[in-house]
A and B are shown apart, each in its own frame.
Chain A
Amino acid sequence: MKQKGRTKINAGRLIWFIGMVLMILMVLAPIFVMFKYSISDRASVVTGGMPIPLWPYHPTTEQFRGLAAMDAFVKSALTSMEAALLAVIVSLAIGTPAAYALVRYRFPGMMVLATLLISVRLFPDIVSVVPIVETFTKVNLLNSVWGVGLAHSLLSMPYVIFIAMGVFETIPKDLDEQAQILGASKLYSFVRIILPVALPGLAAAAIYVFLLSWDEFIFAYFLLAFGNLSTLPVLLQKILSWTPQHNLLAAVSVMLSIPVIIFTFIVQKYMQAGATAGAVK
Chain B
Amino acid sequence: MATVRLHRIGKKYGGLEVIKDLDLVVEHGEFVTLVGPSGCGKTTTLRMIAGLEEITSGELYIDNYPANQIPPKDRGISMVFQSYALFPHMSVSENIAFGLKIKKYPRSDILEKIDWALSLLNLEGLATRLPKDLSGGQRQRVALARALVVEPQVLLLDEPLSNLDAKLRLKMRAELKRLHKKLGSTVIYVTHDQVEAMSLSDRVAIMHEGRLAQVGAPLAVYNSPHNIFVAGFVGSPSMNFFNGRLVRKDESLVIDLETFQLVLPERYRSKCTGCLGRKVILGIRPEHIYDKRLSKTESYLGNTTDVVIDVVEPLGDRDIVEVKKEKICFTALLEPETNAAPDQPMTVVFDMTKCHIFDMESENNIIHSP
Contacts and interface: CB of A to CB of B under 8 A. Distances in A.
A196 B83 contact: no
Contacts of A193: 87
Q: Which of B99, B103, B134 gathers most chain A CB within 10 Å? A: B99
B83 A181 contact: no
Contact of B83 (A179, A274, A275, A280): A280
Interface string A162-192: 0000000000101101111111100010000
A182 B73 contact: yes
B106 interface: no
A184 B102 contact: yes
A241 to B, nearest CB: 51
A190 B131 CA distance: 19
B280 to A, nearest CB: 46
Q: Which of A177, A178, A179, A276 gathers most chain B CB within 10 Å? A: A178
Interface string B146-174: 10001000000000000100000000000
Nearest to A194: B87
A4 interface: no
Interface band, chain B = 20 to 34
A184 B83 CA distance: 19
B79 A181 contact: yes
Contacts of B150: 182-183
A276 B163 CA distance: 17
Contact of A279 (B51, B79, B131, B133): B131
A178 B85 contact: yes
B15 interface: no
B331 interface: no
B294 to A, nearest CB: 45
A277 interface: yes
A276 B88 CA distance: 6
Contact of B81 (A174, A274, A276, A278): A174
Interface in B133-149: 133-134, 136, 139, 146
Interface residues of A, number: 23
A47 B171 CA distance: 82
Contacts of B37: none
A197 B72 contact: no
Interface in B87-142: 87-89, 98-99, 102-103, 130-134, 136, 139
B83 A281 contact: yes
A279 B77 contact: no
A177 B89 contact: no
B50 interface: yes
A10 B132 CA distance: 41
B88 A197 contact: yes
B102 A181 contact: no
Nearest to A196: B89
Interface string B172-192: 000000000000000000000
Interface of B: 50-52, 72-73, 77-79, 81, 83-89, 98-99, 102-103, 130-134, 136, 139, 146, 150, 163
Interface of A: 172, 174-175, 177-184, 188, 193, 196-197, 274-281
When A and B form their complex, which 5 residue pairs have the shortest distance between CB atoms, in order from nearest? A278-B131, A278-B132, A280-B83, A182-B99, A174-B85
